[in-house]
A and B are shown apart, each in its own frame.
Chain A
Amino acid sequence: MSEPVLILGATSAIARATAAAFAARGHDLYLASRDLEELRRIAADIHLRHGVEVRYGSFDAEATDTHAEFLQTVIAEMKGLSGVVLAFGYLGDQIAARDFSAGAKIIAANFTGAASILSHCANYFEPLQRGFIIGISSVAGDRGRQSNYVYGAAKGALSLYLQGLRNRLYSSGVRVITVKPGFVDTAMTYGLPGLFLVASPQVIGERIARAPGKSADVLYLPWFWRYIMLIIRHIPEPIFKRLKL
């Protein structure tokens, strides 16, 4: 089996674990991010552990004018793709709420860049009538909170975008899966106070690689976040606005 999978933003802990889980299932990989030095290390490692072919190349989510050509190159190099995992994300700093120039970067990386590359991916898979697109969004996109609403808004927009894309591609047989991780033990959360039920990146990656073979469209990871967010989404706004969240 080769059925290559493209991982966008492949240097994060979740992306690395996801790539390894796809490789363990025999998929060849194309790893993309800005950090070529890290990609070289991750690619060599996954190839040694799983024996699949792993290629890599530079990809900048914010440089949207390069996305069409980037995807063409990947498709040519891998002789086609069976799926794409959009794993890049940028948490930024809450200063972004008061300083729009910082906020703009969060929106550009998490939403604008994602919408750009996903549109090219969708156009590639649609006529093929097969394939999957997995977008890693966040539970932070389910409700705006004062502590990170710029990031939350960008991820929420991504969730909506994926929802629409799923609707569009349904008739072509292309799967679109939205993944919403809760707290995961990564560099993004390391040392943060107040975290609970923190999942390992390996558990998350394993679940993501399993998703194309399952029927769920929106995947909360771990599963109980579906219920935590169900409660949070249903707190009435007059109460929610008073909470320190």
Chain B
Amino acid sequence: MATLITPLSGWGRYPVQTCELERPERYADLRPAAASMIARGQGRSYGDAALNEGGRVLLTERVNRMLDFDAERGILRAEAGTTLAEILAVIVPRGWFLPVTPGTKFVSLGGCVAADVHGKNHHHDGSFGDHVVALELILADGSRVTCSPSERPELFRATVGGMGLTGIIGEVTLKLAPVQSAQMMVRHHAAGNLEQLFNLLEDPDSDDRYTVAWIDCLARGQQLGRGVAMCGHHAALEELPAGSGNAFSARPGRSRNVPFDFPAWVLNPLSIAAFNAFYFRHEGKKRQPFLTGYDAYFYPLDSIAQWNRMYGKRGFVQYQCVVPDAMAFEGIRALLMELSGSRRASFLAVLKRLGAQGGGMLSFPMAGYTLALDIPVRDNSLFALLNRLDEIVIRYGGRVYLAKDARLSADAFRAMYPRYGEFMEIKKSVDPQNRFSSSLSRRLGIGGNAR
């Protein structure tokens, strides 16, 4: 099959590496390569998870057929290249929704499994892998195997969150969640500081099925950690205004585009501080519940195509970590203090509660609080700051999310992912020659020595 050798990056546009791309259109052409290979769906992981410098990258974007949908039981089987956007277009009009969704719908099913993604409902519903009924996996020897929580359960738990390193995910069978409408009932609560914000997230009265908090991470001192908790659930029929017609009709929003790379000076501490102050006041005012379409609630950034170009040519890194429940407040406060002390602006900072850890051996979520930051790459002092954040995370027993990562060290990875040894046993049994590897796996020393 013809291949294309080209510079490639993840959604953060850092790093950029030369890879050899292969783009099959037939299911039978999802096959391991003779040498190193990693599957790539929509390339929405931020760092180097779907890069393979000097090796093969298997694009699954054309292997995106939905194969079976049981509209009675809400069970969908589709090829791994299918995007969540394509799935939503089919299932929402029939009364179903994704059981778990990340903050963009332009991701592939295979990517959702490989990164074991979570959403704003993790504290109630767990991660994506918790709703996967079965997977078809194409192994290093070319064989196709089914794995599920009951069939080859170890391989299943190594593959969910396994960053594509156990094989090529070919098909995914997913259990969906029933909904009564395409609308969300949402309520915002403003918090003047981190303590208030934690109280909001913990309080069952303000918490909802989906809860997430935006943080103004330039606020310091008394206002450190001020933010807005945004809580919502799928609107029930009786919550819709009378005579609103078809409950499942969601008008597609207008899509805008960032047509060029913003110059570096556009996002600076002053402009971000001004935006954050505006956003805090504007969003914090929405104390009364209001209805909004699911796109606006779950995927606000999807309406701006290529928003990653806002961060300029050098790209950005997203730093997402979790701190376990016991010391969550102290840990998050220490991270925010380190960040605001550096006066390095993060355009987007998000705080969420996570529920219990699932089965995935390399899965990110664990019971605690997760903080996500987008930080533009300007100079190398950023990486020193992130290393200091890693130390704080490790000290509090947390971990960094691999799907977002572009720079974690192999030692830090092992300190954060104690089930690594268990994962490696399965990996060695199905892929003894380490054929499935990526720039991320080599950087973290998964399946071999770290570079």
Contact = CB atoms under 8 A, between A and B. Distances in A.
Interface of A: 11-13, 35, 37-38, 41-42, 44-45, 48-49, 186-187, 190-192
A191 B56 CA distance: 13
A41 B77 CA distance: 11
Nearest to A192: B2
| Size class of the B contact interface (CB-based, 8 Å) | 20 to 34
A37 B23 contact: no
B4 A41 contact: no
14 contacts: A11-B25, A11-B26, A13-B62, A37-B28, A38-B28, A41-B65, A41-B79, A44-B66, A44-B67, A45-B66, A48-B66, A187-B1, A187-B25, A190-B2
A45 B65 contact: yes
A198 B97 CA distance: 35
B89 A49 contact: yes
A191 B3 contact: yes
- Main SS of chain B's interface residues? mixed
B66 A191 contact: no
B23 A38 contact: no
Given A37-B27, A191-B3, 15 more contacts: A11-B26, A38-B28, A41-B27, A41-B79, A45-B66, A48-B67, A48-B90, A49-B66, A49-B86, A49-B90, A187-B23, A190-B2, A190-B4, A190-B23, A191-B4
A42 B24 CA distance: 14
B2 A35 contact: no
B68 interface: yes
A83 B12 CA distance: 47
A13 to B, nearest CB: 6
A155 B23 CA distance: 26
Contacts of A11: 25-26
B69 interface: yes
A209 B3 CA distance: 30
A191 B2 contact: yes
Nearest to A189: B2
A35 B26 contact: yes
Contacts of B62: 13
B60 to A, nearest CB: 13
Top 10 nearest A-B pairs by Cβ distance? Answer: A45-B65, A191-B2, A191-B4, A41-B65, A48-B66, A44-B67, A187-B25, A45-B66, A190-B2, A191-B3
Give the most central of B3, B23, B68: most A CB within 10 Å. B23
Give the most central of B21, B65, B79: most A CB within 10 Å. B65
Nearest to A41: B65
Nearest to A12: B25
Contacts of A186: 25
Contacts of B28: 37-38
Contacts of A12: 25
Contacts of B86: 49
Interface in B343-374: none
Give the most central of A11, A13, A35, A45: most B CB within 10 Å. A45
A12 B62 CA distance: 11
Contacts of B23: 187, 190
A236 B89 CA distance: 52
A38 B66 contact: no
A44 B25 contact: no
Interface in B1-49: 1-4, 21, 23-28
Contacts of A48: 66-69, 90
A191 B2 CA distance: 6
A45 B67 contact: yes
A123 B234 CA distance: 56
A46 to B, nearest CB: 9
A187 B62 CA distance: 10
Given A13-B62, A49-B89, A41 B67 contact: yes
Give the most central of A37, A38, A191: most B CB within 10 Å. A191
Contacts of B65: 41-42, 44-45
Interface in B47-99: 62, 64-69, 79, 86, 89-90
Contacts of A192: 2
A62 to B, nearest CB: 19
A199 to B, nearest CB: 15
Nearest to A46: B65
Contacts of B66: 44-45, 48-49
A12 B4 CA distance: 19
A150 B218 CA distance: 66
Contacts of B64: 45
B358 to A, nearest CB: 28
Contacts of A187: 1-2, 23-25
Contacts of A49: 66, 86, 89-90
Contacts of B1: 187
Given A41-B67, A44-B66, A13 B2 contact: no
A41 B2 CA distance: 23
Contacts of B2: 187, 190-192
Contacts of B89: 49
Nearest to B62: A13
Contacts of B68: 44, 48
A205 to B, nearest CB: 13
A45 B89 CA distance: 13
A41 B21 CA distance: 24
Contacts of A13: 25, 62
B137 to A, nearest CB: 17
A13 B24 CA distance: 11
A186 B4 CA distance: 13
Interface string B251-266: 0000000000000000
